[in-house]
Amino acid sequence: MSSIGSALCRRPSLLLYKKVSALSFCNYSTSDYSVNLKEVLAKKIPEHNKKVAEFRAKHNDTVIQKVTIDMVYGGMRSMKGMVTETSVLDAEEGIRFRGYTIPECQEKLPTAQKGGEPLPEAIYQKQVSAISKEWAARADLPDHVVTLLDNFPSVLHPMSQFVAAIAALQSESKFAQAYSKGVHKSTYWEYTYEDSMNLLAKLPTVAAMIYRNLYREAHQLE
């Protein structure tokens, strides 16, 4: 397992559960820093899928760990049961995003022009600005979700309202529409990308409406 672990650390995109090597160790081209996130993904996904297929073919029967009854009854604690390539939460180290700790992210991420805290959207300012503008353009909620939020009783917990609003947004799902038409599996990522971007854009609006309705006497959002 140690040799596999070493290989995984050298190849961040195939990491199973340990920290990712710093981005500086990866072979990034100028196009990777494009402000068009979907364009970058279209280039990277086929490359990534090829690496995963090669890795699985080579290590398909590798045993990662022994699972005990106590681990199962303990809520799967310490069990390695999922591939994670974006973030990992370690009981001792804390959380890492693509290999970076939160303090490291605070150092590397660009900050708002008049603020001290970093913006989480991307590492490079042009990408931050582009994705922020795109999210702003996608932030409006459909009328039925606005009506839903405005009609919740004040005794309903904010998180219950939040979850219900997210579920109601399924009506706008590009993936659901495409899936019902039988699109090929190889293109799923395009529709899940659109859904992810739309959801990320709309969540702050949903949260703001809930806060307004509960604590600001339902004054209109500006």
5-25 residue pLDDT tens: 433 333 333 333 333 333 333
Closest CA to 33 of 43, 46, 48, 25: 43
pLDDT in tens, 72-120: 898 887 788 878 778 888 778 888 888 888 888 888 776 666 656 665 5
Q: Which residue has the tokens 């009609």?
A: 151
pTM over 0.85: no
Ramachandran region, residue 21 (left: φ > 0; alpha: ψ -120 to 50; beta: rest): beta
pLDDT for 13: 37
Instruction: Decide if 63 contacts 211 (C-beta within 8 A).
Output: no
pLDDT tens, residue by residue, 17-64: 333 333 333 444 444 557 788 998 999 999 989 999 999 999 999 999
**What's 109's DSSP letter?**
S
Q: Where are the beta strands (DSSP E) in 50-204?
A: 87-90, 94-97, 100-101
